[in-house]
Amino acid sequence: MAYNEDLEKRLDAALDVFPKNITDHFSKKKMFGGLAYLFKGKMTVGVIKNDLMVRIIGPKIDEKLKMDAVRPMDFAKRPMKEFVYVSAKGYDTEEQLQHWIELGLEHAQNKLRITK
């Protein structure tokens, strides 16, 4: 198993909470040996092995890194800017998972505003 397919199913179900004008712009792509969810081509969240990968805007990332289940994403042994890994205890409930998706979506929407 390259990535946690149960987490993929939970992410798919969690996206159904969003309005259609949001969900219509999500796509999935295999990346980093796992699966990434993109909003209008910008990465939001993903699944790497059993971890949830999340992109978080700069002003919020330090606060989130203080959480027990969160660590910097160190793909290729170097921390990646604005990316974190969240272990299973950090996305145990549907409310927690929804929170991470919202943070990833916020990051993508922010990047899209900047590039316009």
* Backbone phi, psi, residue 105, to 5°: -65, -40
Contacts of 107 (CB under 8 A, 6+ apart): 42, 44, 55, 56, 57, 82
Q: What is the pLDDT of residues 77-108, one digit of tens each?
A: 788 889 999 999 999 999 999 999 999 999 99
**What pLDDT shows up at residue 79?**
81
Mean pLDDT for the stretch of residues 102-116: 89
Domain definitions of the chain by residue range? 5-115
User: What is the architecture of the domain spanning 5-115?
Assistant: 2-Layer Sandwich (3.30)
**What pLDDT shows up at residue 76?**
73
Decide: helix, strand or coil at residue 30: strand
Per-residue pLDDT band at 51 (split at 50, 70, 90): very high
Collect contacts of 35-38 with beta carbons under 8 A, ≥24 apart.
Answer: 35/3, 35/8, 37/11, 37/104, 38/108
C-alpha 77/C-alpha 99 separation (Å) is: 27
- Kindly report the CA angle at 2 between 13 and 37, in degrees rounded to 5? 40
- What Rg value do the Cα atoms of the chain yield, rounded? 13
Single pTM value for the model: 0.92
Laid out side by side, the sheet with 26-31 consists of 26-31, 34-39, 42-48, 51-55, 83-86, 70-72
